[in-house]
Chain A
Amino acid sequence: METVNKIRVLVAKPGLDGHDKGAKIVALALRDAGMEVIYSGLHQTLDQIMSTAVQESVDVIGLSIMSGAHLPICEKLTAMIKEQGLDNVHLVVGGVIPNQDVQVLRKMGVAAVFPGGTSFDTIVSGINGLFQ
């Protein structure tokens, strides 16, 4: 019963970057905020992330990207989400994201961007806000 309305989030680390502190602490914060959190582990291909998202029927895919490759990665993933008809899955992104890229990501279809230093409260309310 209790899990019926819980938001299910896949926290994922795409690509080769292994700096996972941010992904891990955000995963812990979302879990403490009452969400159902699945952590992908490191070095995930976008195909792996998509298949986990489908298998776990998540509501949100949260990518953590520190390497600077957020634009090409998100461009591809938003296309894949569209292609597979996962219209109800929101993509959010955090990590080392320069200000000038935030709008570019939003235009691409990324539902929310949380650059490094964003508070847990903002991330939690940002994700909750996607379902109101």
Chain B
Amino acid sequence: MGVARYIKDEKGAITEVVYQSGMKIKPGYGPQDLADAGFSYETDLGEPGEFPFTRSLHPQGYRSRAWTTRQYTGFGTPEQTNERFKLMIANGQNGLNVAFDLPTQMGYDSDHPLAEGEVGRVGMAVDSLKDFLTAFDGIPLDRIGSGLTINAVASIMMAMYQALGETKGFDKTKISCTPQNDILKEMIGRGAWIFPVEHGVRLVGDSIEYAVKELPRSNPVSICGYHIRESGATPAQEIAYAFEIAKAYIDTVVQRGIDPSDFVGRFSFNFNVYGNLWEQVAKFRAARKIWAQMLKEDYGVTDKKKLFLRGLFGGGGSGLTKEQPENNIMRGAFYALGAALSGAQTTALCSFDEAYTIPTPRSALLSLKTLELLMDEVGLRDTVDPLAGSYFIETLTLEMADKIREEMGWVKEMGGIVSGISEGMIQKKVSQQAYEFEKGLQSGEYKKVGKTPGKEDEGTDVELHQYNEKWAKSSKDSLAEVKRTRHEKAVADTLRALEKAAKSKDNVMPHLVACCKAFATVGEMADVFRQTFGEWQEPGFY
């Protein structure tokens, strides 16, 4: 049943339960379990809002502030994306989470041969600053923060956001963007990587260093256990690999002579809510604790707020089924409940039709309203960390912390996450697990309601978001217009300066901002990096 392993006797009673991260679950829990685990309120939990933040980042949890909702949005042309942004904001959303199309994510302009058929399909097409100016038209950039779901060329998009803000009259110190910018996770799952590992990590380093100095309200990296989990990792591995990735980024910035305390407070995370409810709650509580302890012990960070594990806990894509898609509405609600019981600071939900395609306005609003309903109707804002003290949850949280540390130990033995990814060890492990899990799902060992082992989906008619070929033409026309009207010498000069910086150890960010302001295109900037850094050759996975 579900994602855990359940052994049943001949009468159908459950005799054994094993969660994905490996914890064996007992039929009941009591005070002795906490005593056996050596549970201490002071060291394992602490007061809400106090180190190690197992219970909450804030003393009163959602009483002082409900979660921020950021549905992943963007498709077609910048005009359409702008319309959808405004729809979501008008319906109570308080942050944006921008989806880019694949050519943009991979650093190709809309007129590139490899972009054919993909322009505006899974997100908005961005070729130049002109597109950002349109997409964010009328959005108060000093009040609404934006997550930018882009990685290989996140540095370019962060620069573009600054150029956007400054062109619209918002000072760079007033705007807030969170580019995903986690290239190492792209190499484990999701696959939108371009440059070899060391150059990818250098660009992450450049953008963190730049944000520390120039963009005080922006969060330069959002480390995504999310996609690692979607690729087949257990919840414990999701957290462990994300933290090891975070350490790799911290180390690369520390090597530049910057104190961790100056920037770790600006890291954010993106974690998945898909899976067994209790395991998720234990995961988030354990993760907050381990992150704070690690920063304090390994990096000497002492300022309380810089020890916060901040981020978006949401999504849940792997849990959705194509079969009986309406069931995904309920799944989303329960995933969101898990996130709320875990004290998620920011959240978003996959919409029920996302097993097919990107959401319609109706399904996107359903997700948003689900999140609102939990806060305003169900009672999740009443009291902080409501499951604290449960014999079961506290035992499980301790066990989960052990599992996470075990996985981190495995990565360390391998020589760290960068070498584990370069050699394909992590990818091999999660792919094999994904395969085993899928086999279990097909044999009926695991269960998703609406899926019958051995029976193929007959398909259900749902209203779907439709792709329109005209968007590509509109993007190409707009790009041609930009190329016709911009100052070519300024473009060439800024691109040349960018190339010089890329070849040296200089930070590329100020040069990217200059390129963006000169209306150099994403493809032109990415090409400079391609020519300078080359492209990654992924290792085999079996």
Contacts and interface: CB of A to CB of B under 8 A. Distances in A.
Interface stretch (A1-9, A19-27, A82-90): A19-27
Interface of A: 13, 15-21, 24-25, 27-29, 31, 39, 41-43, 45, 67-69, 72-73, 96, 98-99, 115-122
Interface stretch (B361-369, B382-390, B534-542): B534-542
A116 B322 contact: yes
B232 interface: yes
Contacts of B115: 16
Nearest to A73: B117
Q: Which of A18, A45, A116, A120 has the most CB of B within 10 A?
A: A18
A25 B393 CA distance: 33
Contact of B542 (A13, A16, A27, A96): A27
Given A29-B438, A121-B454, 15 more contacts: A16-B102, A16-B114, A17-B102, A19-B189, A20-B189, A21-B230, A27-B542, A28-B542, A39-B540, A42-B538, A67-B122, A68-B122, A68-B467, A117-B322, A121-B442
A28 B435 contact: yes
B528 interface: no
**Chain B interface residue number, banded:** 35 or more
The 6 closest A-B CB pairs, nearest first, are A18-B191, A99-B459, A16-B102, A72-B117, A69-B117, A25-B435
Contact of A18 (B114, B192, B357, B442): B192
B114 A21 contact: no
B116 interface: yes
Given A21-B434, A67-B122, A117-B451, A98 B105 contact: no
B356 A16 contact: no
Interface of A is mostly: loop
Contacts of A69: 117-118, 121
Nearest to B537: A41
A13 B193 CA distance: 14
Interface string B287-327: 00000000000000000000000000000000001110000
Contacts of B192: 16, 18
Contacts of A13: 191
B103 interface: yes
Given A28-B431, A41-B538, A98 B190 contact: no
Interface string B180-217: 00000010011111000000000000000000000000
B236 to A, nearest CB: 19
A24 B114 CA distance: 23
Given A21-B431, A42-B538, A68-B467, A15 B231 contact: no
Q: Which of A20, A21, A118 has the most CB of B within 10 A?
A: A21
B471 interface: no
Nearest to A98: B356
B36 to A, nearest CB: 38
B39 to A, nearest CB: 37
B493 interface: no
Interface of B is mostly: loop
Nearest to A97: B356
Contact of A19 (B190, B456, B467, B538): B190
B230 A18 contact: no
B456 A119 contact: yes
A19 B191 contact: yes
B457 interface: yes
A114 to B, nearest CB: 9
Interface in B481-540: 538, 540
Interface string B346-357: 000000000111
Nearest to B323: A117
B305 to A, nearest CB: 35
Nearest to B438: A25
Q: Which of B186, B193, B356 has the most CB of A within 10 A?
A: B356
B106 interface: yes
Nearest to A20: B191
Contact of B191 (A17, A28, A31): A17
Contacts of A20: 189, 191
Nearest to A71: B117
A21 B232 contact: yes
B432 interface: yes
Nearest to B453: A119
A43 B231 CA distance: 17
A119 B121 CA distance: 27
Contacts of B464: 98
Given A15-B117, A119-B456, A67 B190 contact: no
B118 A15 contact: yes
Interface string B115-149: 11110011000000000000000000000000000
Contact of A120 (B186, B191, B439): B439
